[in-house]
Every structure is written in structure tokens, then in C-alpha cells.
Amino acid sequence: MADENMAEIVGTPALDGTYISEMDMWPFECQEFNRIYPFYENLRAGKFTTTKCQKCGHIAYPPGVICPKCWSDELEWVELPQKARIVTFTETQAGAPIGFPSPIIMAWLNFGEGAPLKHLLARIVNCKEGELNEGDEVKFVVFDVPSHPIEIKKETKICDRVYYAFEPVK
């Protein structure tokens, strides 16, 4: 029998009729499942954040619950820049996973000198095939992800989800 404090996924909900939960690529974002849930709460507030170690000052991305440099768990949330430039990118024009429109554009971003995070591999959205160029400026954007029903202590809770990407500055 499952521990009553453990939450379990119920059923196989179809998400917009496009993909099933076993193929779900998005994390559970609620506090019951995810120790970095403030990251997602900050996304909802339009903020791009990560964790900074209060002992050694290391800023890690993605955010975590311990510092990868000194193993301290005394971390604080800090904001990251919301604009970057494209260093290089790839466009997947065919064979995108179910539920994802083509093209899927992944870019290596540069946040510039002095930024708390220098580089990031990120998805670029709201951009047509062939439109993007190296050196283009992009900005942070938050979008909704299909929610997911989960059972927590015999109650079904809808976990609303968001995620982020970058889009061209026009």
C-alpha cells in the first residue's frame, strides 16, 4: 500500500488530445512534487530566476536544492536577465515530438559581460523557419503548459503549469 503522504498520478489523462501523460515532457510544478517550485511560481510572476549559494556565491542553472560547488543547502533565489543574443542555433523542421509545432528552434544564448549567467541553451518560440540569425536579440517569455490532475492525500488537484522560452525582439 502506498504511503499516504505520497501523491500518485491518476489515470492517463489526454492533454488536449495530442499526447498522453506517459509522454509528458513537462515537470510537476507544485510544492508537493517539486522542491524547486519557487522557480515555477516566479515564472508565473514573469520572473526568470535561479538559485545562488549563500556560502560560496555560486549561481547555478538550472536551479537546485544544494550548491554543486560546495554542497551547501543555504541557497537564495536571484533573478536572471531576460534578454540575450543568439550565439548559434538549430531548427528542427520535421519530426518534432507530438504536441510540439515545427520548427523547434534551440539556441545557445549569450547574456553578455557581467551577467550572473553567461550562457544558456533555450528554446526559441514565436519565430518562423528561416527567420532567426546569429547575433539576434531575444527576450524571455512564459507560456502555459497543459495542466495535469494529480491525487494528493485522496484529493484530486489540478496542477497548472507554465514554462519559459525566448522569442525574437522585433
d(CA 64, CA 99): 28
53 scored as a contact of Zn ion (CB under 5 A): yes
Shorter beta-carbon distance to Zn ion: residue 72 or 93? 72
State the nearest-atom distance from the C-beta of 72 to Zn ion, in Å.
Answer: 5
Q: How many residues line the site for Zn ion (CB under 5 A)?
A: 8
CB of 134 to Zn ion, least distance (A): 34
Nearer to Zn ion, 69 or 119 (CB): 69
Smallest gap from residue 102 Cβ to Zn ion (A): 41
- DSSP letters for 122-165: EEE-S--TT---TT-EEEEEEEEEEEEEEEETTEEEEEEEEEEE
**Residue 138 lies near Zn ion (rule: CB under 5 A):** no
Q: Which is nearer to Zn ion, 70 or 87 (CB)?
A: 70
The C-alpha atoms of residue 39 and residue 164 are separated, in whole angstroms, by 11
Q: Alpha-carbon distance 150 to 127, whole Å?
A: 33
Contacts (CB under 5 A) with Zn ion, residues 55-74: 55-56, 58, 67, 69-70, 72
d(CA 69, CA 71): 6
Question: Is the bond into 168 cis (omega within 30 degrees of 0)?
Answer: no
State the residues that interact with Zn ion by CB under 5 A: 53, 55-56, 58, 67, 69-70, 72
